[in-house]
Amino acid sequence: MKNIILIKLLPLCLWSFSLLGHANDEASNTNEKDIAVAANKVSKPSETKGESAYFDRLSTQKKAEFDPYIMTPHKMTYLLPLSVSNNMNRQAYDGIGQWGEDIQSIEAKFQFSFKIPLTRTAIFTEGDSLEFGFTLQSWWQLYNQELSRPFRETNYQPELFYTAPLTWQPLGGQTNMVVGFEHQSNGRTQMLSRSWNRLYYIFTFAKDNYALSLRPWWKIPEGNKETTPTESGNDNIDITDYMGHFDLTVLYKWDSLEFSFVGRRNFKEQKGGFEVGMTFPLSGKLKGYLQFTNGYGESLIDYNHAQKTFGIGIALTEIL
Residue closest to 214 by CA, chosen among 242, 180, 177: 177
In this structure, are residues 282 and 306 in contact, taking their beta carbons and an 8 Å threshold?
Answer: no
Catalytic residue among 28, 46, 183, 305: 183
In this structure, are residues 104 and 89 in contact, taking their beta carbons and an 8 Å threshold?
Answer: no
Catalytic residue among 52, 85, 138, 185: 185
Q: How far apart are CA 5 and CA 174, in angstroms?
A: 27
Q: What are phi and psi of 54, to 5 degrees?
A: -65, -50
**Annotated catalytic residue 22:** no
Q: How many CB atoms lie within 10 A of CB 226?
A: 6
Q: How far apart are CA 185 and CA 194, in angstroms?
A: 6
Q: How far apart are CA 88 and CA 136, in angstroms?
A: 21
Crossing angle (nearest 10°) for helices 53-64 and 32-43: 170
Angle (nearest 5°) at CA 277 between 240 and 242: 10
Given CA atoms 296, 298, 300, 305 in this order, what sign does their dihedral have?
A: negative
**Annotated catalytic residue 305:** no
Q: How far apart are CA 265 and CA 274, in angstroms?
A: 9
Residue 310 is classified by DSSP as: E
**What b/e readout covers 53-63, taking b as 16+ CB neighbours within 10 angstroms?**
bbbbbbbebbb
Alpha helices in 206-264 (DSSP H): 239-243
The number of residues in the chain equals 320
Q: How many CB atoms lie within 10 A of CB 235?
A: 24
Mind telling me the catalytic residues?
Answer: 183, 185
